[in-house]
Amino acid sequence: MALIEITDFRTPGGWTDPQSSTQRSQECCRQLEEGNILFFRQMPFEMPQVDLDFLTGVKQSDSALHKNISYRPKADVLRGAEAAPPEAMQRLHRIMRSYSQNVTAFISRLLEPYAGSFRHDFASFRAIEEQGRDLPLHRRNDLMHVDAFPTRPTRGDRILRCFTNVNPAESRVWVTGEPMSVVAQRFAQDAGLSRLLARASTPAGRISRTLRHVLGPLAGKGAAQRTPYDEFMLSFHDYLKERQDYQDEKQGKLRTEFPPFSTWIVFTDGVPHSVLSGRLALEQTFIIPLSAMIVPEQSPARVLEKIAGQALLA
């Protein structure tokens, strides 16, 4: 697991050596899939200074704008800023839309093998200081975890996230750990992988899944679409946060300070991570199909299937 700094790519313009662009793109995808982070010391796409100034001006004490604000690109909807004055909300909406579009164009060129097949998930503006947040254990960002979305199961597809630190004065500090190929070998069985599969294959388990499909949204948002893989990833997210010895260990972990205006990209379903401190970050999530993976055997679904000895995506 490493931080890989990219210095030969800019938007617009793309790779500095266009001859090798396909090869460099493939290499970047491979590095991400193997559990590394791609890092850009400067923002690799345009963002007007007036927009950055506006985001910087969002104060920690501004209760209307200090919680996580999300932008849904498909519907072009901003959530979480309803209490803000209409002007501020409209401005933020425009900034988020533009960030989302710019990151999408950037990712399409940087990671060519995924272009055309990825799905847009949400973007977010993280305006709260992460250090010392008072949250219930399973919602704490400062504890190592892998991402899984309760309401938007990926069914084995991957969660790729692009972050930008828009704080002009302070770094955002992360800790990352060894990827799922290592962590799952250590903990998946203890976290209940075989038990979950055994339960799913009993008559009661099959009836319960059929019921969830029939009930649809009544079974809970996203529950009807969950495969055994999604169920396991949700419980593994909680398991890692609960496991104090894993949280405390130093071996295999990397502490990284992402400086002001840097950007980084990572598969957060495959790389355990925690955020120790930082305020003011933008993020756009993409769902990349498992079928687009260059090293599919490194993806959490395939890693877990190998450990379990059976399919998880049925």
Which residue ranges make up the site for Fe ion (CB under 5 A)?
Answer: 147
* Least distance CB 277 / Fe ion (angstroms): 15
* Least distance CB 145 / Fe ion (angstroms): 6
* Least distance CB 192 / Fe ion (angstroms): 21
Q: Which is nearer to Fe ion, 147 or 231 (CB)?
A: 147
Question: Residue 172 pairs with which residues in a beta bridge?
Answer: 258
3 state SS of 15: strand
Q: Which is nearer to Fe ion, 9 or 163 (CB)?
A: 163
Name the residue with the smallest CB distance to Fe ion: 147
* Least distance CB 147 / Fe ion (angstroms): 4
Q: Which is nearer to Fe ion, 11 or 268 (CB)?
A: 268
CA–CA dist 61, 127 (Å, integer): 10
* Least distance CB 237 / Fe ion (angstroms): 8
- The dihedral sign for the CA sequence 142, 35, 6, 110: negative
Alpha-helix runs per DSSP H in the chain: 21-33, 49-56, 86-110, 180-187, 193-201, 203-215, 228-242, 244-248, 300-308
Neighbours of 260 (CB within 10 A): 18
CA–CA dist 313, 302 (Å, integer): 9
Q: Which is nearer to Fe ion, 112 or 147 (CB)?
A: 147
Neighbours of 314 (CB within 10 A): 11
Q: Which is nearer to Fe ion, 115 or 234 (CB)?
A: 234
CA–CA dist 94, 97 (Å, integer): 5
Q: Which is nearer to Fe ion, 9 or 246 (CB)?
A: 246
Encode burial over 135-146: b for 16+ CB neighbours within 10 A, e otherwise: eeeeeebbbbbb
Nearest to 157 by CA among 8, 266, 286, 13: 286
Neighbours of 63 (CB within 10 A): 10
Q: Cα-atom radius of gyration of the chain, to the nearest Å? A: 20
* Least distance CB 68 / Fe ion (angstroms): 12
Q: Which is nearer to Fe ion, 51 or 147 (CB)?
A: 147
